[in-house]
Homo-oligomer: A and B are copies of this chain.
Amino acid sequence: MTDAPSRETSTQETYSPGGFCPLTFHDATEGFSKGTDTPRDYLERCLATIASREPVVQGWVCMNEAGAREAADASSARWKSGTPLSPIDGMPIGIKDLLETRDMPTRMGSPLFKDNHPKRDSALVQALRQAGAVVLGKTVTTELGMSHPGPTTNPFDASRTPGGSSSGSAAVVGARMVPAAIGTQVVGSVIRPASFCGNWALKPTQGALNRGERQGLSHSTVGVHAGMAEDMWLVAAEIAKRAGGDPGYPGLFGPAAPPDPRKPARLAVLHGEGWPLTEPATRAAFERVLAALGGRGVALLLPGENKLLDALEASVADAMSLSTEMCAFEMRWSVENMIAQHKDGISASLRARLELGRAMSTDDYRDLLRRRTEARTRLAALAPLVDGFVAPAAIGPAPKLGTEAGTRGTIVHTTGDPSYNAMSSILGAPVVTVPLMAVGGLPVGVQVMGQQHDDAAIAAIARWMAAEVPPVEANG
């Protein structure tokens, strides 16, 4: 295990959604079968990219290169003998540093967990290893998956944030260091960084992928970042097959293979809290996406056109505060433990979350649960009317490092505004973000949200959009 190299300078990339060539894996396995390529060679190419990009990107907390090479060699032998364990056998993958890995520490972006190293694999890490994937390293998270940022920079502009909390997972995929990485989301921690880093990403239906030891927040999920839709789906499906969903949940529904692209008949446009805050160029770019959808015969249900959609909009109009308050209440006892044990080492923004939780009563929390349940009822009411929902995945491209755009009240937030992201979290709804736009040479995603358990259906719609809707490039 090696710690990540320290910061150096390196060249910056300019992003174009049509021109960007992501690192993919699903199309490499044919070479593994034919003998023209091997998982070990694939890994070495990833390591070469990491050596080149990591000094600036700083997406990794630590890596187990020796273990990865050993796993890649074992995978190479399996592909050679025609006995791969799964379609992702040999795939190098990054794991957000909130989730336990038996061969690497789990530092959680907090100095309090610097020496934390349980010798266990989180359920999905265990599943990935069983599927033959090469668990290469741990990726940077904000402090405990909340607001306080780590060192990671945006792979397309090192002066900008990669987003958070899954900062490293998004950045290492955007920088083509690995084809996929695991993130987690409780407010907007998968979809926003994916948008900022040009990833495909799946934030699945609540409970669809096993969160292992991290069951403490009632609407958090794990999610998958990838360069391409196929790899995104394959990773999710292989995890689901082996680790199932959270306890008490039925797990991910859908085929083992990536769902084929499928044109939706009707999509609703969801504004949520994000639209009023959306930057003009991003708004214009998204409207071009909507026009392209309309031009291809997709009926669009717009805000104000339907009472059920209006009711849903009203329910997600304060999704951010609802999500933040629920988390603050749910996590207060574990933060209290950190303070009892360490006193210091906790950021001001985390302390602000604790104060929020401390000020809440059980009845306050029950009322949040009621609101969340009502919002979910309103989402379900739209099932007969639309095949899915579309919205920008962020209010604009990644802001400059240190910009406090996402700050709410006393909780300082510098990894970009999550206004478009909390809605799917409180709804427990699946979302796929598609890297379909560029604004000022930086990526901005389009998100497709569905009903609970429609993960495969929205992945199919997202793939259709990627194939049929021309990428949009706008000046910043």
Contacts and interface: CB of A to CB of B under 8 A. Distances in A.
Given A215-B215, A215-B247, A126 B366 contact: no
A219 B240 contact: no
A210 interface: yes
A333 B247 contact: no
Contact of A217 (B244, B247, B334, B365): B247
A64 interface: no
Interface string A178-221: 00000000000000000000000000000000101101111100
B248 A121 contact: no
Interface in A340-385: 340-341, 362, 365-366, 369
B120 A341 contact: yes
A362 B240 contact: yes
A254 to B, nearest CB: 11
A336 interface: yes
Contacts of A334: 120, 123
B121 A337 contact: yes
A119 B127 CA distance: 29
Nearest to A124: B333
Contacts of A213: 216
A129 B336 CA distance: 12
A244 B340 contact: no
A123 B240 contact: no
A429 interface: no
A126 B333 contact: yes
A14 to B, nearest CB: 43
B251 A365 contact: yes
A120 B219 CA distance: 24
B333 A102 contact: no
A352 to B, nearest CB: 20
List the number of copies, as a whole number. 2
Nearest to A369: B250
A400 interface: no
A376 to B, nearest CB: 12
A243 interface: yes
Contacts of A121: 333, 337, 340
A260 interface: no
Contacts of A250: 362, 365-366, 369
Interface in A258-313: none
A241 interface: yes
A247 B216 contact: yes
B126 A244 contact: no
Nearest to A126: B333
A197 B248 CA distance: 32
B329 A244 contact: yes
A123 B340 contact: no
B248 A102 contact: no
A330 B126 contact: no
Contacts of A341: 102, 119-120
A102 B340 CA distance: 9
A216 B120 CA distance: 15
A120 B341 CA distance: 8
Contact of A218 (B102, B218, B247, B251): B247
Given A215-B215, A215-B216, A333 B369 contact: no
Contact of A337 (B120, B219, B247, B330): B120
B248 A219 contact: yes
30 contacts: A102-B337, A102-B340, A102-B341, A119-B337, A119-B341, A120-B334, A120-B337, A121-B333, A121-B337, A121-B340, A123-B333, A126-B333, A126-B337, A127-B333, A215-B215, A215-B216, A215-B247, A216-B247, A218-B247, A218-B248, A219-B248, A240-B362, A241-B362, A244-B365, A249-B369, A250-B362, A250-B366, A250-B369, A251-B365, A251-B366
Q: Which 3 A-B pairs have the closest CB atoms?
A: A218-B248, A215-B215, A218-B247
